Structure 1
Amino acid sequence: MTAPGTGEKSWAHEDLQPSAAPAGTDPIANRPGQHGFFMIGTEALFLCHMPMFTMERHMYQVVLRASLPGEVMEEYRAGRRADPKLAFNLINSGDDPFSLPQLKSGRRTEFRADLFRDNDGERGEPVGDPFATGIPVTVENVVHFRHFNADLPRPHHMTYLLFGAGGQAHLSHYIAQDPDFQHILTLGSVPSWVSPEQLEAGVLLTIRDMPSTPIPCAPSLPEGECPVLYEGRSDAPAVLDMTGAHDVWFSTANLLNAEDPC
């Protein structure tokens, strides 16, 4: 498969292998490669990794706080404000590979990337040519880092990671087991019951009235007030105001699952 406008093999299909490692190979080897991230937030930039259950190097749900050079950040901000629902994304340059554990360990705090305005949710590829190439991306904080664990059950209820900074808050669905879905959205306002420190660190919210299955094929969070539990605790109920929230990304495809349930 070729990436639109490039004529070259798509980054997402590079060295694509099934989750069961071939005989004689190391099933836990995280060889450096290319990684795609969705870009969200205008005041503070966050990057959400595009995970895959089918490749070891991509079997991670990761959220980073990052920064870009001033002019590039302003171009991204202008595009994001013009169309908040565009799936802005970036991919580290082919000549600057890394593994996700290198970001978590702090061995890598910067990489070069190509930036795109949209993404094809079916094929897992950027749409069109990049609007900026070879841009230095600085990782300021690892907000969430988790390798998928085949032995941990799926949560009983829908679970989302709440995070943000700079007067903005975002949600990213907690991805657990194949099949699953990736859903990223920006809230209309920051919840008053979470401190700035907690928001920057990220907290998990259980949506009390929504079971985690069946897997939805479209965004299904309620409008208006949404009852949640802070970190799943029954003694810590709260209400999430969904007024003014807008989706940035939703997909059950994008190479996330071995087979798209939708």
Structure 2
Amino acid sequence: MNTTPGPDHDGHEHIHRFLVLGKKKLFFYHLALYNPQSGHNYQAVFTFTIKDSGELRERYLQDLAQHENERVFYALRCPHHFELPELQQGKEFSVHLERVVVKPDGSRDFQQMTTTETPVECKREDVRSFRKLGDLAYPEYLTYLMFGEGDEIHLAHQLADRPNWDEAVTVATTRPIDPATLKKVPTLVIDSIQDAHDKLIESPLKNGQQYQGKIDGTGQTVDLTVGRQGWWNHTSLNN
């Protein structure tokens, strides 16, 4: 059952969702929309403190274990509106955990998993990457933001010009990535694949396949194997 309230008159909900990625350390990726009127036209990566003695985390991990091989994503949904840039100054807010089930026709069912609001703290240092959309030209090659910790590395497709697609995948690298580099959320450029300069309906990165990218396009070479997809959107992103 979808327990999420419907959108406002302009077609967008004026609340925020943050994708949940990882198992050992959780990262939170803001679900963006290009429409500047939506209030969601930001691509951002965070680490939050969930202030509930680990209950939400355990609920997420247990459910993920049951659905790991399915097209099921997870998000924190904020039931109370605030402007996203407020997080850059530090902020406390409340969330619900959601299971996001992708149906056979590609539509998404947002299923609320918690009945009470969970408090979350965002400190200034939790803002790992934050950029307003609308001022970045299409790159020549496939480009992702790279973040994570230890052996859990996540890639989020860099949201340049529109139309485009938004995705997040977890990958395994053959060599560790320097923690200080990861904390900066650099780009990873896969120069064997040209950027589509358009929206795609499925990821150019295939599960289980190996790819090679360069940090910031010219830096360290990273050999990686694609793992679980944690998000995909080529529809409402562009509306």
Q: TM-score range by the shorter chain?
A: 0.7 to 0.9
Structure 1 SS opposite 2:188: strand
Runs of 4+ that moved beyond 4 A = 119-126
Correspondence for 1:196: 179
Partner Cα separation in structure 2 for residue 181 and residue 220 of structure 1: 11
Correspondence for 1:35: 16
Structure 2 SS opposite 1:172: strand
- 1:22-79 deviations in whole A, cap 9, x for unaligned? xxxxxxxxxxx41112111111111111111123411100111123221121111111
Asked if 1 retains the 8 angstrom alpha-carbon contact of 2:20 and 2:27, the reply is yes
Equivalent residues, number: 229
Asked if 2 retains the 8 angstrom alpha-carbon contact of 1:154 and 1:212, the reply is yes
Structure 2 SS opposite 1:207: strand
- 1:67-123 deviations in whole A, cap 9, x for unaligned? 3221121111111233235211121123xx2111111233x2x21011111155889
Match of 1:58 among 40, 43, 63: 40
Correspondence for 2:110: 127
Correspondence for 2:231: 249
Partner Cα separation in structure 2 for residue 123 and residue 39 of structure 1: 20
Larger Rg: 1
Query: Larger % of strand: which?
Result: 2
Partner Cα separation in structure 2 for residue 123 and residue 224 of structure 1: 23
Matching of residue 45 in structure 1 with residue 31 in structure 2: no
- 1:184-208 deviations in whole A, cap 9, x for unaligned? 1111x34525212222331211110
- 1:111-154 deviations in whole A, cap 9, x for unaligned? 1011111155889865233334311122251111110124x311
Structure 2 SS opposite 1:81: helix
Unaligned runs of 5+ in 2: none
Q: Provide the identity percentage.
A: 24
Partner Cα separation in structure 1 for residue 174 and residue 153 of structure 2: 8
Matching of residue 87 in structure 1 with residue 85 in structure 2: no
Structure 1 SS opposite 2:65: helix
CA 1:114–1:138 in 2, change beyond 3 Å: closer, same or farther?
A: same
Match of 1:76 among 60, 65, 82: 60
**Structure 1-normalised TM-score?**
0.77
Alpha-carbon distance, 1:16 to partner = 2.5
Instruction: Give 1:201-216 correspondences, 5 Å limit.
Output: 201-213=184-196, 214-216=198-200
Partner Cα separation in structure 1 for residue 174 and residue 122 of structure 2: 25
Structure 2 SS opposite 1:103: helix
Structure 1 SS opposite 2:167: strand
Unaligned runs of 5+ in 1: 19-32
Structure 2 letter corresponding to 1:138: E
Alpha-carbon distance, 1:168 to partner = 1.2
Alpha-carbon distance, 1:178 to partner = 1.6
Partner Cα separation in structure 2 for residue 17 and residue 71 of structure 1: 33
Alpha-carbon distance, 1:240 to partner = 2.5
